[in-house]
């Protein structure tokens, strides 16, 4: 096994053990653990291993490792901490909670993503604590119809099943399903209509996650329908169906598109890297003299490229490394280098004395 | 679906007239509607009307994809390097800064890198890319090698580029003189190059008569 | 009377120009077009084929039309974004009447009332002051059917002599010279001859910006081994990498052509066999050009003698060649002479009427060719016939079912119409497809003359800068709202197809003209129900003329993707290349290839004369004007298309660094340009791609940005084309940004 794989396996294993421990501890030695949910629990443990393993592998790619390290360095850098902390708050709200950047990409896409994201967050926020026994409800002695919520076994607030709060809490997953189904509908509509999307999309990457989320939400809703209006008719079957969709989704989480949920947080690190870099100065292009990237970014990219096996070093000491040329000058140099080849060619003609005016009889 | 194997992209910037038909048409393409991905700029307008049209060269080993921390840039089986996959791109600009051809564009507001994808919606369906279809000078040409050989008897395609110690090979070809020695393009050579073409100056020997300066042109 | 009622800014707020960008279904990558309409670009004379994507009566985009042989899918930026002109917020959907109280100065009125008002004013003015007191100004962007109908309307319905068109600012010098030399006014060759040439000579044609698709033909010639010679005071993009660049001093093209002919004769590079068999008049011309030694040519043109000799050698010794020119040599007070000079070196070379041997002017406007053939020129009748020729009058009168005597006599050119307004001879005006306040020289004069009119009616789809002066504005049709034919630069007749219906009360222009005729009670001859009927009458009217369209039908055009006129019979295949042995010629009738009774082309002595206004101590710099690639003519359409405006948003004055340094003008600085007629403050663009004695300003903008405030209304004595390409100015740095910019920023 390669070193990075061993590292990733180790991280995955540790994370899985930690979650298992939390399950045992949070449910008070499984006292509040619902044995019927054991399939879910094992799926979650597997997913934990998979996600942490993949995350660890990912973080070990040279460019990612660099950003990970630099992101934290910049975040914690002296003199920038206060501003970074403030920016962290702003970006958590603007980018993470509200998906502002997706809004700028496309309004419908933004609506779809918000619905999907908050639907999933809500669903996980409810189910994970329930499944692990971190949250359970107990009757309140002396007050029939009233419940008390227990968090990690500690008693918390009470509410009546008849109250609006009670209705909302006990139907939390229904609301989550409705959000997710709405989001899936919007996303599928776009994928079916949009010619650009049609050219680029792949089933496993783009449709499968939508199908899975739809399956989970629909079967979940059917469970509610089943016990609310059908007196539990077919409940067993639907419950198994639901379990299958959920478990499959959990097992697939580390491999497919939904993994972006975990990668996305790197965006925060990137923004600190950029902010701090900009405050510390831009590197001037060695051809046109205009600042085009942070000096830190240029230096880091040279390192990363070397690690990846690229060698853009240039013998001309005025350049040193091609990374010191700005993108606009790279485009211009590309075109100028072609022009130069043609000019050399023409000069070559002239040297050979091939006077083009006197050469009209040459065949085309 | 994929880009037909015999159809290739050839660019000859020496033909470019800077009209921006490619830029205007690029934003009509469905994979990046409303955003032009092609680059077109003057080398130095004060000296010359020479312009640099640059599309993605679609490297065989794309530096942009390699340096991407989010693994967001994919190369299709038919050799087209795609725009960053939207869920993954974290807008770090590594690709923008690393691409030796200066191609990817950072859409700051969207926190997303977008780049020329050879109009994948069109080329994968047998159509030509928008830019190469409309290009009035045919500096951008999309077709078969046979068509090219017939239309451009003095040119031949080159797809090897040197940047210092690094050599990059690409799916997109650049046209160089057929008979000439250069089978590949050494980009560093152009560091000191001035725009190609004529400009007008006063010749003091001819007492104020205006003559053209054909520096690089002939 | 016809003054602008409100502040310009109020008019702009209500009627534009506002810029449109793609949004909604035009920006939706999922929108599915209901159909693709094969048609052509609405802008320049090349008339590139294009397919318009239509959904819900809106053009939502385009798809290249790769089968159309001229452009094979290629388009310039204007063609790419042309679709944004439709469904535009500034689009006129009702008739407008001048109203002081209405916002923007115009109130919507019922279409029928507007027509009655126009008819009543025509009636009133003509009965009080005579038929000629009401004039018509038309345009060469109209379909040939509409152009034909405008001529018929003026000559038969209004019986006024005074109709002319904006081709007067465009193609007339080339047209007049071509008729003098060849007896026919059409590009001699299809463009497919360009790549077959050994030498392509381009004089005064900014091909890359004004006829971009032609670029590929020129580059293809070069690819096949041709040498490219470009004559221009600016290093235009096509000149940048040409083989020989001759930076001619504006207004001195004849001198160059005469100098080249001098060297051709001196070196025996004249095709004597061709000259003897097919031409006449070389002797007089040879004698005239004796004085044009290389030394004198160099002194006058400002081109180095060595380069003149080199050009003569390349041209003189070529086996096949193609000479192209455009407004650069035509927009002069001696524009016809310039063109004759060019034709002389073509005729002397003997390289015409064969594959790979050609000559053409690059027509500017959409229907620059078809619009100048069928009777909307002041002296013309359909089929390229002359209004002054009794036989021609009789033929057309018989087609129209009227007495020849009832046809008016030839009238005056477009600019002279404004001078007649000044003299009180013209009191009423109807215009269509023409924006003289932007496009005519010395346009402050033009504006004052519009204000002098008793009545001015305008037909347009946007309220252009001239229509702001109108009493009544009638909502016409966009290119994609009507069908018909146009004849593009090569002489190829092609079909424009309708993609969408006009909005609101707007309707096809030919319907508006017929409605006016009906309101005048003179509907006879104006009861067509579709463009095809107009075309069929035009075919008959043109029959037997030089511009013979009789053998062309809509079906034939669509099946063959265009038919080149002359095409005298239904079985005839059309004439892509003129002057070939045996090609149809109703004038020579077999005696020779050219359109004169003896079948011979004419050499014409082209005498050099300096520009009408040469530089002097007071105004020491030459101003020349022209176009940029992203704008078209007076900008009525292109200044309303956002992406095109963004590409080049305001005119800049191009100055050579040597001159700029002398005047203390830096790149990007506000610069005041002043002529004897007006002044204009623009940003400088310091570039060494222009002669140091010359500055350049593109003319597409109105009001304070208008280059035509400076230009001179001197005209060619034959073609009456104005001298846009040379006038004298002086320059200085402006102290601050101009008032118009401050006002716009405030708003």
In chain C, the domains with their CATH numbers are 8-85 (3.30.200.210), 97-170+368-564 (3.40.50.740), 188-361 (3.40.228.10), 621-746 (2.40.40.20)
**Confidence grade of residue A359 (pLDDT, cut at 50, 70, 90):** very low
**Confidence grade of residue C5 (pLDDT, cut at 50, 70, 90):** low
Task: For residue C510, give every residue at least 6 positions away whose Cβ sits within 8 Å of its Cβ, in sequence order, or none.
Answer: C145, C146, C149, C482, C528, C531, C534
Rg (alpha carbons) of chain C, rounded to whole number: 25
CB distance from A194 to chain B under 8 Å? yes
SS3 of A327, please? helix
CA distance A304 to B66: 9
Which pLDDT does position A152 carry in this prediction? 79
Whether A353 maps to a domain, the answer reads: yes
Whether A335 maps to a domain, the answer reads: yes
The residues facing C199 across adjacent strands are C227, C321
Lowest mean pLDDT among A197-201, B159-163, C145-149, C676-680: A197-201
* DSSP percent split of chain C into helix, strand, coil, nearest 5: 35, 20, 45
Give yes or no for residue A262 having a pLDDT over 90. Answer: no
The residues facing C359 across adjacent strands are C323
Quote the distance between the C-alpha of residue A18 and its chain's center. Answer: 23
Which of C77, C212, C240 lies closest to B49 in CB terms? C240
Give yes or no for residue A364 having a pLDDT over 80. Answer: no
Which pLDDT does position A363 carry in this prediction? 32
Give yes or no for residue A356 having a pLDDT over 70. Answer: no
CA distance A138 to A147: 6
Which pLDDT does position B218 carry in this prediction? 37
Give yes or no for residue A353 having a pLDDT over 50. Answer: no
Whether B76 maps to a domain, the answer reads: yes
Mean pLDDT value across residues C112-124: 98
Strand runs (DSSP E) across C536-580, as ranges?
A: 563-564
Mean pLDDT value across residues A142-158: 83
Give yes or no for residue A302 having a pLDDT over 90. Answer: yes
**Confidence grade of residue C542 (pLDDT, cut at 50, 70, 90):** very high
Which pLDDT does position C351 carry in this prediction? 97
Q: How many CB pairs under 8 A join A and B?
A: 222
Interface probe with C: pick from B43, B52, B198, most Cβ of C within 10 Å: B198
CA distance A304 to A312: 11
Locus of tokens 């069928």: C374
| Chain A residue at shortest CA distance from C313 | A357
What is the tally of helices (H) and strands (E) in chain C? 25, 28
Task: Tell me the residue length of chain A.
Answer: 364
Q: Which domain holds residue A325?
A: 282-357
pTM of the model as a whole: 0.94
ipTM of the complex: 0.95
Which pLDDT does position B2 carry in this prediction? 78
Instruction: Report whether C495 contacts C483 (CB < 8 A).
Output: yes
Question: Which bin fits B126, alpha (ψ -120 to 50), beta or left (φ > 0)?
Answer: left
Task: For residue C414, give every residue at least 6 positions away whose Cβ sits within 8 Å of its Cβ, in sequence order, or none.
Answer: C137, C164, C165, C166, C168, C169, C378, C434, C436, C440, C720
SS3 of C545, please? coil
Whether A317 maps to a domain, the answer reads: yes
Locus of tokens 């534009």: C16
Which pLDDT does position B208 carry in this prediction? 47
Buried b (16+ CB within 10 A) or exposed e, A283-308: bebbbeeeebbbebbbebbbebbeeb
Which of A95, A196, A321 lies closest to B33 in CB terms? A196
CATH code at position B94: 3.30.70.20
Q: What is the 3-state secondary structure (H, E, C) of C327-358?
A: HHHHCCCCHHHHHHHHHHHHHHHCCCCECCEE
Which pLDDT does position A34 carry in this prediction? 75
Whether A235 maps to a domain, the answer reads: no
Q: What is the separation, in whole angstroms, between the first and last Cα of chain C?
A: 28
Provide the domain count of chain A.
1
Question: Which bin fits A203, alpha (ψ -120 to 50), beta or left (φ > 0)?
Answer: alpha
Locus of tokens 């008390």: A148
Q: What angle do CA C496, C499, C504 make, to 5 degrees?
A: 115
**Confidence grade of residue A153 (pLDDT, cut at 50, 70, 90):** confident
Give yes or no for residue C679 having a pLDDT over 90. Answer: yes
Query: B164–A322: do the CB atoms touch at under 8 Å?
Result: yes
Whether A29 maps to a domain, the answer reads: no
Residue among C686, C698, C685, C703 nearest C724 (CA)? C698
Query: B188–A364: do the CB atoms touch at under 8 Å?
Result: no
CB distance from A350 to chain B under 8 Å? yes
Which pLDDT does position C397 carry in this prediction? 96
Whether B38 maps to a domain, the answer reads: no
pLDDT in tens, A54-71: 999 999 999 999 988 998
**Confidence grade of residue A358 (pLDDT, cut at 50, 70, 90):** very low
pLDDT in tens, C56-99: 999 999 999 999 999 999 999 999 999 999 999 999 999 999 99
CA distance B148 to B134: 17
Instruction: Report whether C432 contacts C476 (CB < 8 A).
Output: yes
Which pLDDT does position A129 carry in this prediction? 83
Q: What does each C-alpha distance from C321 to A79, B100, B174, C178, C311 come to in angstroms?
A: 73, 43, 30, 18, 13
Which pLDDT does position C160 carry in this prediction? 97
Which pLDDT does position A227 carry in this prediction? 84
Q: Which pair of structure tokens corresponds to residue C590?
A: 């077999």
Q: Which pair of structure tokens corresponds to residue A290?
A: 């205009």
CB distance from A197 to chain C under 8 Å? yes
Instruction: Report whether A243 contacts A215 (CB < 8 A).
Output: no
Residues of B in contact with C68 (CB under 8 A): none
Chains touching C by CB (3 or more pairs below 8 Å): A, B
CA distance C461 to C86: 10
Which pLDDT does position C601 carry in this prediction? 97
pLDDT in tens, A221-235: 999 888 888 888 888
CB-hemisphere CA count at 13 Å for B97? 28
The residues facing B177 across adjacent strands are B155
CA distance C445 to C418: 9
Q: Which pair of structure tokens corresponds to residue C35?
A: 């159909």
Mean pLDDT value across residues C679-694: 95
Lowest mean pLDDT among A143-157, B204-218, C144-158, C451-465: B204-218
Which residues of chain B register pLDDT less than 70?
1, 202-218
Whether B91 maps to a domain, the answer reads: yes
The residues facing C582 across adjacent strands are none
Whether B173 maps to a domain, the answer reads: no
Give yes or no for residue C327 having a pLDDT over 90. Answer: yes
CA distance B102 to A326: 8
Provide the domain count of chain B.
1
Q: Which domain holds residue B94?
A: 60-115
Query: A63–B99: do the CB atoms touch at under 8 Å?
Result: no
Instruction: Report whether A214 contacts A183 (CB < 8 A).
Output: no
Instruction: Report whether C29 contacts A197 (CB < 8 A).
Output: yes
Mean pLDDT value across residues C116-126: 98
pLDDT in tens, C359-384: 999 999 999 999 999 999 999 999 99
Which pLDDT does position B173 carry in this prediction? 97
SS3 of A112, please? helix
Q: How far is A105 from chain C (nearest CA, A)?
A: 13
pLDDT in tens, C493-506: 999 999 999 999 99
Q: Alpha-carbon torsion C420, C426, C432, C437, what sign? A: positive
Query: B19–C240: do the CB atoms touch at under 8 Å?
Result: no
Could you give the residue ranges of the DSSP H alpha helices within chain A? Answer: 3-26, 38-59, 62-76, 81-91, 100-105, 107-131, 164-170, 172-193, 195-200, 208-229, 235-252, 260-263, 266-280, 295-308, 327-351
CB distance from B2 to chain A under 8 Å? no
Task: For residue C521, give every residue at least 6 positions away whose Cβ sits within 8 Å of its Cβ, in sequence order, or none.
Answer: none
Strand order in the sheet with B140-143: B140-143, B8-11, B166-177, B155-163, B185-186
Whether B138 maps to a domain, the answer reads: no
Tell which B residues from 11 to 50 touch A, by Cβ distance under 8 Å.
Answer: 12-14, 16, 29-33, 39, 41, 43, 50
Lowest mean pLDDT among A157-161, B165-169, C433-437: A157-161
Which of A105, A313, A330 lies closest to B101 in CB terms? A330
CA distance C137 to C135: 7
| Chain B residue at shortest CA distance from A258 | B87
**Confidence grade of residue A354 (pLDDT, cut at 50, 70, 90):** very low
Residues of A in contact with C310 (CB under 8 A): 357
Rg (alpha carbons) of chain A, rounded to whole number: 29
Which pLDDT does position C6 carry in this prediction? 64
Q: What is the 3-state secondary structure (H, E, C) of chain B?
A: CCCCCCCEEEECHHHCCCCCHHHHHHCCCHHHCCCCCCEEEECCCCCCCCEEEECCCCECCCHHHHCCCCCCCCECCCCCECCCCCCCCCCCCHHHHHCCCCCCEEEHHHCEEECCCCCHHHHCCCCCCHHHHHCCCCCEEEECHHHHHHHCCCEEEEEEEEECCEEEEEEEEEEEECCCCCCCEEHHHHHHCCCCCCEEEECHHHCCCEEEECCCCC
Which pLDDT does position A348 carry in this prediction? 66
Whether B107 maps to a domain, the answer reads: yes
Which pLDDT does position B199 carry in this prediction? 74
Locus of tokens 């001093």: C249
Quote the distance between the C-alpha of residue B87 and its chain's center. Answer: 27
**Confidence grade of residue A147 (pLDDT, cut at 50, 70, 90):** confident
| Chain A residue at shortest CA distance from B62 | A310
CA distance A266 to B90: 7
Instruction: Report whether B140 contacts B55 (CB < 8 A).
Output: yes
Q: What does each C-alpha distance from B11 to B48, B63, B154 come to in angstroms?
A: 20, 21, 14
Whether B75 maps to a domain, the answer reads: yes
Q: What is the separation, in whole angstroms, between the first and last Cα of chain B?
A: 46
Give yes or no for residue A30 having a pLDDT over 80. Answer: no
Q: How many CB atoms lie within 10 A of CB C544?
A: 15
């Amino acid at each position: 096994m390669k070193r990075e794989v061993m590292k990733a396996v180790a991280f995955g294993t540790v994370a899985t053990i930690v979650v298992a421990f939390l399950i045992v501890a949070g449910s008070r030695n499984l006292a509040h653990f619902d044995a019927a949910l054991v399939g879910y629990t094992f799926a979650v443990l597997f997913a934990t291993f998979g996600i942490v393993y993949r995350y660890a592998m990912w973080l070990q790619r040279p460019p990612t490792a660099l950003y990970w390290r630099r992101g934290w360095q910049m975040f914690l850098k002296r003199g920038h901490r206060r501003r970074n902390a403030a920016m962290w708050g702003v970006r958590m709200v603007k980018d993470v909670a509200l998906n502002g950047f997706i809004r700028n990409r496309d309004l419908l896409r933004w609506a779809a993503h918000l619905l999907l994201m908050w639907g999933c967050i809500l669903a996980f926020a409810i189910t994970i604590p329930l499944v692990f026994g971190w949250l359970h409800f107990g009757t309140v002695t002396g007050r029939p119809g009233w419940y008390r919520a227990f968090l990690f076994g500690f008693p918390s607030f009470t509410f009546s099943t008849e109250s609006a709060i009670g209705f909302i809490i006990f139907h939390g997953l229904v609301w989550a399903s409705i959000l997710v189904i709405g989001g899936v509908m919007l996303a599928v509509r776009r994928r079916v209509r949009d010619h650009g999307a049609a050219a680029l999309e792949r089933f496993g990457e783009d449709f499968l996650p939508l199908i899975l989320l739809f399956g989970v939400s629909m079967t979940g809703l059917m469970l509610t329908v089943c016990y609310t209006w059908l007196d539990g008719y077919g409940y067993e079957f639907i419950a198994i169906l639901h379990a299958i969709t959920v478990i499959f989704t959990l097992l697939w989480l580390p491999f497919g598109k939904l993994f972006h949920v975990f990668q996305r947080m790197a965006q925060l690190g990137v923004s600190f890297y950029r902010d701090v870099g900009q405050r510390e100065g831009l590197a001037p292009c060695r051809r046109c003299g205009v600042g085009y990237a942070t000096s830190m970014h240029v230096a880091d990219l040279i390192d990363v490229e070397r690690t990846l096996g690229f060698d853009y070093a240039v013998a001309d000491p005025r350049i040193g490394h091609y990374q010191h040329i700005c993108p606009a000058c790279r485009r211009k140099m590309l075109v100028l280098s072609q022009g130069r080849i043609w000019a050399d060619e023409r000069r070559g003609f002239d040297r050979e004395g091939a006077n083009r005016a006197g050469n009209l009889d040459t065949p085309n | 679906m994929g880009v037909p194997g015999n159809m290739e992209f050839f660019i000859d910037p020496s033909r470019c007239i800077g009209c921006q038909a490619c830029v205007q048409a690029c934003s009509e393409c469905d994979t990046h509607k409303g955003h032009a991905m092609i680059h077109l700029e003057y080398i130095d307008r004060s000296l010359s009307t020479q312009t640099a049209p640059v599309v993605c060269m679609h490297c065989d080993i794309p530096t942009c994809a390699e340096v991407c921390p989010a693994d967001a840039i994919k190369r299709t089986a038919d050799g087209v390097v795609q725009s960053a996959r939207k869920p993954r791109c974290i807008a770090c600009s590594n690709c923008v800064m690393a691409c030796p051809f200066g191609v990817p564009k950072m859409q700051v507001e969207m926190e997303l890198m977008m780049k020329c994808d050879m109009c994948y919606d069109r080329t994968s369906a047998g159509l030509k890319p928008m830019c190469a279809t409309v290009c009035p000078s045919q500096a951008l040409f999309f077709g078969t090698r046979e068509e090219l050989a017939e239309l451009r008897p003095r040119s031949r395609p080159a797809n090897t580029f040197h940047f210092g110690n690094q050599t990059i090979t690409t799916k997109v070809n650049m046209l160089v003189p057929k008979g000439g020695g250069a089978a590949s393009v050494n980009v560093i050579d152009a560091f000191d190059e001035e725009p190609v073409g004529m400009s007008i100056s006063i010749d003091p020997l001819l007492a104020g008569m205006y003559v053209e300066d054909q520096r690089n042109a002939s | 009377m016809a003054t602008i009622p409100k502040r310009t800014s109020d008019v702009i707020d209500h009627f534009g120009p506002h810029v449109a960008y793609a949004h909604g279904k035009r920006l939706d990558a999922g929108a599915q077009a209901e159909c693709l309409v094969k048609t052509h670009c609405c802008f320049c004379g090349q008339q590139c084929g294009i397919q318009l994507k239509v959904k819900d009566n809106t053009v939502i985009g385009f798809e290249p039309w790769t089968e159309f042989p001229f452009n094979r899918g290629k388009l310039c930026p204007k063609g790419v974004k042309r679709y944004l002109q439709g469904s535009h917020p500034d689009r006129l959907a009702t008739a407008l009447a001048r109203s002081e109280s209405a916002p923007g100065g115009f109130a919507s009125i019922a279409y029928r009332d507007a027509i009655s008002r126009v008819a009543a004013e025509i009636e009133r003015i003509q009965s009080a002051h005579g038929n000629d007191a009401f004039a018509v100004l038309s345009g060469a962007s109209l379909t040939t059917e509409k152009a034909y109908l405008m001529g018929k309307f003026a000559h038969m319905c209004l019986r006024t002599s005074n109709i002319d068109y904006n081709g007067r600012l465009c193609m007339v010098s080339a047209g007049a010279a071509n008729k003098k030399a060849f007896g026919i006014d059409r590009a001699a060759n299809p463009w497919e001859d360009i790549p077959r040439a050994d030498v392509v000579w381009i004089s005064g044609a900014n091909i890359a910006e004004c006829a971009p698709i032609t670029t590929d033909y020129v580059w293809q010639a070069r690819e096949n081994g041709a040498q490219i010679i470009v004559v221009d005071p600016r290093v235009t993009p096509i000149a940048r990498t040409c083989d020989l660049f001759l930076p001619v001093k504006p207004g001195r093209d004849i001198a160059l052509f005469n100098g080249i002919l001098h060297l051709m004769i001196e070196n025996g590079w004249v095709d004597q066999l061709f000259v003897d068999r097919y031409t006449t008049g070389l002797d007089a011309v040879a004698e005239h050009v004796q004085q044009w030694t290389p030394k004198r040519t160099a002194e006058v043109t400002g081109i180095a003698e060595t380069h003149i000799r080199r050009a003569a050698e390349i041209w003189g010794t070529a086996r096949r060649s193609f000479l192209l020119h455009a407004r650069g040599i035509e927009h002069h007070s001696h524009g016809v002479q310039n063109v004759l000079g060019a034709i002389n070196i073509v005729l002397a070379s003997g390289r015409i009427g064969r594959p790979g041997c050609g000559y053409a002017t690059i027509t500017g406007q959409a229907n620059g060719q078809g619009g100048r053939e069928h009777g909307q020129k002041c002296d013309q009748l359909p089929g390229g016939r002359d209004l002054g020729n009794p036989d021609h009058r009789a033929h057309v009168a018989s087609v129209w079912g009227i007495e020849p005597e009832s046809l008016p006599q030839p009238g005056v050119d477009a600019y002279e119409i404004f001078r007649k307004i000044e003299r009180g001879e013209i009191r009423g005006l109807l215009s269509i497809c023409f924006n003289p306040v932007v496009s005519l020289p010395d346009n402050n004069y033009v504006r004052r003359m519009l204000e002098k009119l008793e009545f001015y009616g305008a037909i347009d789809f946007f309220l252009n800068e001239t229509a702001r002066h109108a009493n009544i504005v009638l909502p016409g049709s966009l290119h994609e709202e009507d069908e018909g034919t146009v004849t593009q630069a090569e002489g190829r007749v092609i079909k424009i197809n309708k993609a969408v219906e006009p909005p609101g009360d707007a309707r096809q222009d030919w319907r508006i003209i017929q409605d006016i005729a009906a309101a005048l009670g003179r509907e006879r001859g104006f009861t067509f129900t579709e463009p095809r009927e107009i075309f069929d009458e035009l075919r008959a009217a043109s029959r037997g003329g030089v511009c013979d369209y009789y053998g062309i039908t809509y079906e034939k055009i669509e099946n063959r993707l265009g038919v080149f006129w002359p095409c005298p019979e239904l079985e005839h295949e059309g004439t892509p290349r003129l002057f070939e042995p045996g090609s149809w010629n109703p004038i020579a009738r077999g005696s020779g290839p050219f359109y004169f009774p003896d079948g011979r082309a004419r050499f014409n002595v082209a005498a050099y004369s300096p520009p009408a206004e040469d530089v002097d101590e007071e105004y020491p710099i030459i101003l020349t004007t022209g176009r940029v690639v992203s704008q078209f003519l007076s900008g009525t359409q292109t200044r309303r298309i956002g992406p095109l405006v963004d590409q080049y948003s305001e005119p800049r004055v191009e100055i050579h660094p040597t001159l700029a340094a002398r005047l203390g003008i830096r790149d990007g600085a506000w610069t005041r340009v002043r002529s004897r007629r007006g002044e204009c403050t623009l940003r400088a663009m310091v570039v060494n791609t222009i002669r140091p004695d010359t500055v350049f300003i593109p003319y597409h903008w109105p009001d304070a940005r208008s280059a035509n405030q400076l230009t001179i209304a001197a005209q060619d004595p034959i073609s009456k084309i104005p001298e846009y390409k040379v006038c004298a100015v002086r320059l200085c740095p402006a102290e601050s940004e101009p008032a118009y910019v401050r006002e716009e920023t405030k708003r």
